[in-house]
Structure 1
Amino acid sequence: MSSKQIFLSHIHEEKDLALLIKQAIEEEFSGFIEVFVSSDGTSIPAGANFLKRIEDGLINCIGAIYLISPVSVKRNWINFELGAVWIRNAISIKTEGHEVPALPFCHSSMTLNDLPQPICNLNSIIANQASQLEFAFRSLQTAVGGKGALRTDFDTLAGKIVEFERDYTLGTTVKSFLTLLGGDIKILVEHCENLPTNTTHTNLELGFIPTDVVQKITEFEADQLKGRIKLTTKNPGTSFGPQGAVNGAEASVLIETRLITEFKNLL
C-alpha cells in the first residue's frame, strides 16, 4: 500500500524531537503515512539534491507539522516551509480540493499566546499535553482519510516530549554555563558523582576571572539558572598576564550537584 507523506519542519537542534514524533506517527498510521524529516538520514539520502527534496516534500505532502520553540520560531527555514504549505492549502481549498493541515507543535516553553503572526492563526497545540497530541493525530487521520480509534499511548508520548524539553532547555543551559567556566568537565562530573548522596551543592573555585566573565555568570544566576547557582566574588582588582592588564576578581560558584550528574551525558 502506497503511503502518503507528512512534512515535519524542524531546526537541527530539535532533531531528536522530530524523530520522536516521526516514529510515533508512522507507528500509529503504519502503511498509510510516512513522515519527511530532513535530518533523519533517509528522507534525503546521501548525494541527493537537498533543496529539491525539500521542495518535493512541501509539494507532495498531505499535511505538515512545525516544531515551534522560542529558538525555532526565529529561524527563516521554519517560516519559509510554513508559507509553502499555507499557500498550497489556500489554493487547494479554493479549487475545492482537500485541506492541507499545517499544525504547529509548541514546545520548550513556547506558549500559544507567544506565537507571532501569522503562525498564531493556525490551530496549534502544546506538544507535551496528551489530549492535544491526540487532537493533532486525529487531524492527521482525517487528512489521510482514516477513521476509528487511535492506538498511540498519548500519555507516554507526552512524557517523552517532556524529557526532551528538559534536556533541551536546562541541559543545554548547564552545558553552556560550565563551558563558560572552563576547566575539565569530566573531572567535575567524577567529583560530583563521588560526593556523599546527601550532598546537594558543590563549590567551584574559579580563581581570578575577568570582569566580563563575572558579568556573564551573573546573568546566568539572575535568569536561566536562578536559584541553582550562587556567585561569590572577592578581591576585585587587576591581573597582569600575557594579554596585558585584565580587570576582574577572585570568584567561586556554588552549584547544585544534580545539574552536573543528571546532565552528564550532555556535557
Structure 2
Amino acid sequence: MQNNKPIIFVSHAAVDSGIAGVFKSDVEQNFLGLCSLFVSSDLDSIQGGFEWIQRIKENLSNAVISIGLYSPVALTRPWIYTEFGAGWIRDIPTITLCHSGLQKNQLPVPLSHFQALDLTDELHLKHLYEQITEAINCQLPNIDFSAEVNKYREITETQRVQRMIHGWFTQLKNWNPDLDSLFDDKEVIEILIPAQADADFLNFKQDVEQSEFLIVEQAGMAMGTRVGAQASVWNLRRGVKFDVLKSLLNI
C-alpha cells in the first residue's frame, strides 16, 4: 500500500533498534500520524538484502528530512555514512541526533561539520521537533519535552551501561582468568589492569560504583605482570546490587 504521508528517514545501527523503535512510535504519535518514520538498519543486519536495500533507497529518495540516531556503536558502521551523505546530497535537513553516551565533540568527519543535537537534551529535542514541523508543514505538537527526554535518558543510559559492562568484563576476564570466581564463592578478588588502561578503567570504576554493582579499591602497583611490564592492582568486592550485575551478564 502506497504511503502518501511525508517520510522521515531515521538512520541507525541495528544494535540501536530498541531506541529507534521508541523514537519512531513517539514522533508518529506526537505528530498525530501526519508523518511516517522509516527506521533503517545498518548493512550488517541485512540478509541478502536487495529488497531491503531498495526500500532504503526509495525512502531516502522520498524523505523530507533525514535523522541520524547515532550511538558510539553506530559510528563504527560504514552504512550510516552512506545514508547521511544521501540526505545531504538531496539537500534535505540531515540531522545528527546523539545518544547513549555519544558527545557532539566525538563525531568524526564529515558528521562533525554539521550541527548535531542530543536526544537527551530538552532544548535540542524541541529544536528537532521544530525542524520536523517545518519539513512536514504542520504545527508544533504541544507535548512535555522534559518527560520525553527523561524517558530517552533512562533507555539510553541503561543501554550504555549494559554495553560498558559486557565490554569491560570480557576484557577483564582476558587479563584475569580467575574473574569468574567473583560470581561463585569469593566475595572479593584481586585483579590486574595494564598501566595504559588505567584511565579508562577509572571510568568503569565510577559507573559500577554509582550503580552499586561493585566496590572497587586500589591495592597498589605491580611490575613484570602477566598483563604488562607495569600494572595497577585492584580489589573487586560485591556491591549491594551485585545480583543486578549478574543478571546483566546473564550469569
What is the CA-CA distance between 1:223 and the residue it aligns to?
3.9
Which residue matches 1:135? 127
Summarize deviations over 1:13-52 as a string: whole Å, max 9, x none: 222221121111111123211111135xxxx9x9872211
Which residue matches 1:171? 162
Figure out how many residues of one structure are paired with residues of the other and give that number: 228
Contact 1:2 1:31 in 2 (8 A): no
223-232 vs 77-86, which deviates more? 223-232
Contact 2:101 2:157 in 1 (8 A): no
Task: Give SS of 2:37's match.
Answer: strand
Within 2, Cα distance between the matches of 1:218 and 1:47? 40
When normalised by structure 1's length, the TM-score is: 0.68
Contact 1:172 1:266 in 2 (8 A): no
What is the CA-CA distance between 1:184 and the residue it aligns to?
8.0
What is the CA-CA distance between 1:79 and the residue it aligns to?
0.8
Identity %: 26
Summarize deviations over 1:93-131 as a string: whole Å, max 9, x none: xxxxxxx21111122333333333332333321110112
Q: Which of residues 21, 25, 33 in structure 1 aligns to 2:27?
A: 25
Query: What are the equivalent positions in structure 2 for 1:92-171 lying under 5 Å apart?
Result: 100-147=92-139, 149-171=140-162
1:111 partner letter: Q
The answer to whether residue 175 in structure 2 is matched with residue 183 in structure 1 is: no
Within 2, Cα distance between the matches of 1:214 and 1:120? 33
Task: Give SS of 1:225's match.
Answer: helix
Which residue matches 1:266? 248
Within 2, Cα distance between the matches of 1:237 and 1:119? 43
Which residue matches 1:77? 79
Q: Which of residues 254, 257, 264 in structure 1 aligns to 2:236?
A: 254
Which residue matches 1:54? 56
Q: Relative to structure 1, is the Cα distance of residues 59 and 223 closer, same or farther in structure 2, using a 3 angstrom cutoff? A: same
Within 2, Cα distance between the matches of 1:82 and 1:175? 29
Which residue matches 1:204? 188
What is the CA-CA distance between 1:143 and the residue it aligns to?
0.5
Structure 2 unaligned spans of 5+: 174-178, 210-215
Which residue matches 1:5? 7
Contact 1:171 1:263 in 2 (8 A): no
Q: Relative to structure 1, is the Cα distance of residues 183 and 137 closer, same or farther in structure 2, using a 3 angstrom cutoff? A: same
Q: Relative to structure 1, is the Cα distance of residues 215 and 83 closer, same or farther in structure 2, using a 3 angstrom cutoff? A: same
Task: Give SS of 2:205's match.
Answer: coil
Which residue matches 1:230? 217
Task: Give SS of 1:7's match.
Answer: strand
Structure 1 unaligned spans of 5+: 90-99, 192-201, 240-248
Q: Which has the larger radius of gyration?
A: 1
What is the CA-CA distance between 1:85 and the residue it aligns to?
0.7
**Runs of 4+ off more than 6 Å:** 233-239
